[in-house]
Amino acid sequence: MPEFNTLLQAEIPKLRRYARVLCRANPARADDLVHDTLVRGLEKQHLWQPGTNLRSWLFTIMHNLNVNEVRTSVRWEEVVGDDVLVRLSANTDAESSRKLMELDRALRRLPEEMRQVILLVGLEGLPYGEAAAVLGIPTGIVRSRLSRGRHALRVLLDEVVPVEHELAAA
């Protein structure tokens, strides 16, 4: 299907962005996840129905591959060091860089279920129904996790503010 290949290529940047977030900015693992997703998508293209959302279908594949990787990998608790975040935010001003690092730390502290919903809805802009399909959960659960996740993020990010004020006062 030549049109499938064209549609697939158009989704690669979105797949890369989502993979980088899922893999906590580990570029090698993110690239592997994108590659595996594309290979699986090509192998299973006969299962995709033209007229349906290809991005959601690919995100579902990526999500399932990532879950399988996390379940079988001994390295699943590996976290990104601050040096990686500094390199990622090198092109921003100091304030933006600090906020990016704080947001990343807060996201890492969220339970995986909340983080996945926040990334799909907040970062990727998927509607609730599509995020639910990707994760294999009801739409109501997506809404609940998103609400609780946003609240938890606000709490985690607010914890940073008193420390800054204490440092400024000293």
* pLDDT, position 51: 86
As given in the structure block, the two tokens for residue 146 are 């998103």
Shared-domain flag, residues 16 and 56: yes
Shared-domain flag, residues 8 and 66: yes
Whether the CB-CB separation of 66 and 120 falls below 8 Å is answered with no
Q: Is 125 left (phi over 0), alpha (psi -120 to 50) or beta?
A: left
* pLDDT, position 68: 78
For residues 65 and 153, give the distance between their C-alpha atoms in angstroms, rounded to a whole number: 26
User: Cβ atoms within 10 A of the Cβ of 152, count?
Assistant: 19
Which CATH number covers residue 9? 1.10.1740.10
Q: Tell me, yes or no, whether 160 lies in a domain.
A: yes
Which CATH number covers residue 163? 1.10.10.10
DSSP class of residue 122?
A: I
Q: What is the pLDDT of residues 38-88, one digit of tens each?
A: 999 999 999 988 888 999 999 989 988 887 776 655 443 444 444 544 554
pTM of the complete model: 0.57
C-alpha distances out from residue 27 to 21, 91, 117, Å: 10, 18, 21
Number of independent structural domains in the chain? 2
Q: In 3D, which of 29, 42, 104 has the Cα closest to residue 73?
A: 29
Q: Tell me, yes or no, whether 99 lies in a domain.
A: no
Shared-domain flag, residues 62 and 9: yes
Shared-domain flag, residues 119 and 165: yes
Shared-domain flag, residues 65 and 116: no
Question: Considering 55, 78, 101, which residue would you say is the last residue of a domain?
Answer: 78
- In tens digits, the chain (170 residues) has pLDDT values of 568 889 999 999 999 988 888 887 678 888 999 999 999 999 999 998 888 899 999 998 998 888 777 665 544 344 444 454 455 445 455 666 677 778 878 888 889 899 989 988 888 888 999 999 989 999 999 999 999 999 998 888 887 654 444 445 54
Range of the domain at 125: 110-170
Q: Tell me, yes or no, whether 124 lies in a domain.
A: yes
